Amino acid sequence: MNLKLKASKGLMKVRKHSPAILMTTGVVGLVGTVVLASRATLKVEPIMDEHDMKLAQVQEARAKDVSGELNQPYTEEMAQRDKVIVYSKTAVQIVKLYLPATALGVASIAAIVSGHTVLSRRNAATMAAYATLQAGFEKYRERVREQFGEDKDLELSRPRQLIVEEEDVATGETRETFQYAADGLSLYARYFDELSPRWQKEPGYNQMFLSSRQNWFNDKLHANGHVFLNEVYDELGIPRSKEGAVVGWIDGNGDSYIDFGLNDGRTEAAREFILGHERSILLEFNVDGLIWDKI
């Protein structure tokens, strides 16, 4: 029973890494194909020399027949038949010579194609699962917004939210503002700060730059129909992410516009940035989610 379990686990590991195994095998096989083909080419010259010699003998015999030097006739039909035999034997020899290289090449290409097919199917399954999970999460957030409002949805989406209460001295009323700890950010949120090569010391410049880039990407969204999150990261000088390669915005889907979260007045830091008092800001991108399957 233990041996059977180990064999089963080993088989699962092989299946898990089968795309890499197949593609590596295919690449190694193609290298072997080149080696075998090179060796076969070295043996072609003797075959062709024999081929040329036999054709010369046929032509010589035909010439002697025409001049009357032969005791038996050697007609043009007989010469053509012998030429066909010579060409056929030569072709068979060359095919046998290159057959190992050809077989290995075909098997190598088949291995690469098989590995690519397995990988494509897994990617498709992963994207489908991600899309299903995302759809379910969005429906959950919609129910939260309907029942508790936008602020509660924001609070629940950032589990480490800090609520700060400020008392208005003039009226005596208490106002709630929202601040967020760094480890409570959303998956796609990024800081635009001095780590970005596009950041400047002048607060007004940063606000103007981000607003212009947001407008530019919205124009690009409507022109091209889609924008990947990594494209935005690149433009803002923010390091790419794995998620950014598959998520983004689709025109006609979701909000149909790109929002960096610049006008999120619910956070004190955002308000200070808009007023020009802060030079850095936390950007919350309103991505539509997975877009590869919608393009």
Q: What pLDDT digit, counting tens, does each position of 7-40 carry? A: 766 777 777 788 888 889 989 999 999 999 999 8
Percentages helix, strand, coil for the chain, rounded to the nearest 5? 65, 10, 25
For the chain, the structural domain boundaries read 13-113, 185-294
Radius of gyration of the chain (CA): 36
Quick one: pLDDT band at residue 236, thresholds 50, 70, 90?
A: very high
Q: Which residue has the higher pLDDT, 159 or 89?
A: 89
Percent above pLDDT 70 for the chain: 77
Compute the average pLDDT of residues 264-271: 56
Nearest to 248 by CA among 295, 213, 211: 295
pLDDT, residue 9, reads 67
Half-sphere exposure of 34 (CA within 13 A, CB side): 5
Q: Are 61 and 74 in contact (CB under 8 A)?
A: yes
- Helix 44-67 to helix 76-148 angle (10° resolution) is 150
> What's the pLDDT tens digit per position in 58-96?
888 888 777 777 677 888 888 889 899 999 999 999 999
Residue 151 confidence (pLDDT) above 90: no
Phi, psi of 167 (to 5 degrees): -100, 130
β-pairing verdict for 161-167 and 289-290: unpaired
pTM value surpassing 0.95: no
Question: What is the mean pLDDT of the segment spanning 131-140?
Answer: 74
